[in-house]
Structures are given as structure tokens and as C-alpha cells.
Amino acid sequence: MKQTLGGILSIGGLIGVIFFGIQYLDDSESFELLGADIAVSTGDWVPILVSLIVLIVGVVIYKSK
């Protein structure tokens, strides 16, 4: 039972990290200043952090006996 729950949490966390990571990268804006291209991110990093925590908890539950 623990392995099933850990697997589900791990997969969900991984999907969340990938999805919100791509969304975070898409929310960046770039502009040119003195010949240099500068990127400024306007995305929210909190969903990535929450997904990463869920992924870690899932792996810990999966590996525990």
C-alpha cells in the first residue's frame, strides 16, 4: 500500500515539476540592452516548489519499509 501511494505521489510530483517548469519558462520576457539579451522571469515558482516537495515525499514513502 505504501509503495502504491509513494509511486502515485512521485509520478504526480514529477508531472507537476515538468508542467509548471515549462510554464515558468514560457512566462519569461526578454529584452535587449546595449547589445545583450536580458531575460526576466515573471512566472510563479511556488507551484514548482510544491510539486518538488510532493515528488520528494513520494520517493521517501516509496523507499520506506
Containing structural domain, residue 26: 2-63
Question: Number of structural domains, the chain?
Answer: 1
Work out the mean pLDDT of the chain and round it to a whole number.
88
Distance CA(59)–CA(65), nearest Å, equals: 12
Write out the three cell numbers for 7.
Answer: 509511486
Question: pLDDT digits over 35-48, tens only?
Answer: 777 777 777 889 99
pLDDT at 55 over 90: yes
User: Coil, helix or strand for 19?
Assistant: helix
pTM: 0.78
